[in-house]
Amino acid sequence: MLDDRASERHQLLIDGQFRPALTGRTFETLNPATGEILGHVAEAGAEDVDLAVASARRAFEEVWGPMRAADRGALLLRFAEVIRRHKDELTELESLDSGKPVAAIRRQDLPAVIDTLTYYAGMADKITGTVVPARADALTYTIREPLGVVGAIVPWNFPLMIGMWKIAPALACGCTVVLKPAEFTPLTALRLGELALEAGLPPGVLNVVPGFGRLAGQAIVDHPDIDKVTFTGSPGVGRQILRGAAGNLKRVTLELGGKSANIIFADADVDAAVRAAASGIFFNTGQVCSAGSRILVHESIHDEVVDKLAARAASMRLGNPQDAGTNMGPVVSEVQMDRI
């Protein structure tokens, strides 16, 4: 299942090397379908984040930032090819660590990871400025330059896919990354970091620091040498990040959860609407920031919609996410199950 090098991969990835946390602390990552311990993962603290940021800054200033954009794009294309070669391993690892059905990962998550990286690899040498026709006797123009070091904080519901949504554009633009995966799902992020090195990305371009939000995440937000934070998660944490980012006026991108509604009108194609509504709440066990957790339905078709939704829910196959026939796996953790 997981190979003999798994314990090494459970360490922090800083400056191209796997290493334990400076405190020596670790935390367990579990298979949510069985409760089995998949490994003990190094727990990053503020001092580890300092090392990762210093590594990312060196790589940005000395290697990745000055590199020709076309060369960066070529390395990112090679990274995509390495991921493609390891897609079965990544699918299994993502399923084990998050509880996501392998069928869903093969259908959506892994193709999206490869597509995203390929897209931004092609964009790397096409980022241009503009000439502004301000006046005839002056040359006025804009240029686009990489920001620097990006702190990326990734949630547990789509670890691979959302992780790559943050990694690929930052690297394509010439930035370097300090990535903090969610404490529930750190394994594929660490493996991505290792595959990036295999593809030839220089050490320090992508650092991976698993840990908890209150320590590693907060250290990223507060760090004066991180130029931007990108975060996907809860509105409450998003507010904290905005407050923390004021310290050095770092840029912030937030993708936060919501309470979303589907609306089904009387003239709708009821079968199509029910299929979409069911997918909207059952996909990924409902662990989606845009999950359709409410349905507003016209009273004239209320009973029909309820009956067909109930039938569709009854047909869902719950079970082992490693089974190709499973439609719905477990929620990601006991903590999340209790919260629900």
Tens digits of per-residue pLDDT, 83-130? 999 999 999 999 999 999 999 999 999 999 999 999 999 999 999 999
Please check whether residue 335 is in contact with residue 300, taking contact to mean a CB–CB distance below 8 angstroms.
Answer: no
Q: Is 89 a catalytic residue?
A: no
290: pLDDT strictly greater than 90: no
- What confidence tier does 1 reach under pLDDT thresholds 50, 70, 90? very low
Instruction: Write down the pLDDT at residue 55.
Output: 98
- What confidence tier does 323 reach under pLDDT thresholds 50, 70, 90? confident
258: pLDDT strictly greater than 90: no
Instruction: Write down the pLDDT at residue 92.
Output: 95
Among the ranges given (38-52, 104-118, 322-336), the one the predictor scored with the smallest mean pLDDT: 322-336
- What confidence tier does 8 reach under pLDDT thresholds 50, 70, 90? low
Strands 130-132 vs 140-142: parallel, antiparallel or unpaired: antiparallel
Instruction: Write down the pLDDT at residue 336.
Output: 85
Instruction: Write down the pLDDT at residue 15.
Output: 98
CA 169 to chain centre: 12
Please check whether residue 154 is in contact with residue 182, taking contact to mean a CB–CB distance below 8 angstroms.
Answer: yes
Instruction: Write down the pLDDT at residue 9.
Output: 63
250: pLDDT strictly greater than 60: yes
State how far the Cα of 39 lies from the Cα of 31, in Å rounded to an integer: 10
Q: Is 255 a catalytic residue?
A: yes
Please check whether residue 296 is in contact with residue 264, taking contact to mean a CB–CB distance below 8 angstroms.
Answer: yes
The stretch 42-59 carries a mean pLDDT of 98
Q: Which of 198, 255, 304, 334 is catalytic?
A: 255
- The sign of the torsion formed by the CA atoms of 83, 149, 220, 14 equals positive
3-state SS, residue 152: strand
Instruction: Write down the pLDDT at residue 94.
Output: 96
Instruction: Write down the pLDDT at residue 260.
Output: 82
Instruction: Write down the pLDDT at residue 339.
Output: 85
| Angle value at C-alpha 190, between 112 and 207, nearest 5 degrees | 100
* Among candidate residues 177, 269, 289, the one with its CA nearest the CA of residue 227: 177
3-state SS, residue 64: helix
The stretch 146-160 carries a mean pLDDT of 96
Alpha helices in the chain (DSSP H): 6-9, 46-59, 69-85, 87-98, 102-104, 110-123, 159-172, 187-198, 218-222, 235-245, 270-282, 302-315, 334-339
pTM exceeds 0.85 for this model = yes
Instruction: Write down the pLDDT at residue 305.
Output: 96
Percent residues over pLDDT 90 in the chain: 83
Pick the more confident residue, 322 or 18: 18
3-state SS, residue 298: coil
The stretch 297-318 carries a mean pLDDT of 95
Instruction: Write down the pLDDT at residue 259.
Output: 75
- For 161-207, the pLDDT digits (tens) are 999 999 999 999 999 999 999 999 999 999 999 999 999 999 999 99
Please check whether residue 178 is in contact with residue 56, taking contact to mean a CB–CB distance below 8 angstroms.
Answer: yes
- What confidence tier does 285 reach under pLDDT thresholds 50, 70, 90? confident
The partner residues of 262 in beta bridges, in order of sequence, read: 295
**Which residues, 6 or more positions from 103, have their beta carbon under 8 angstroms from its beta carbon?**
324, 325, 326
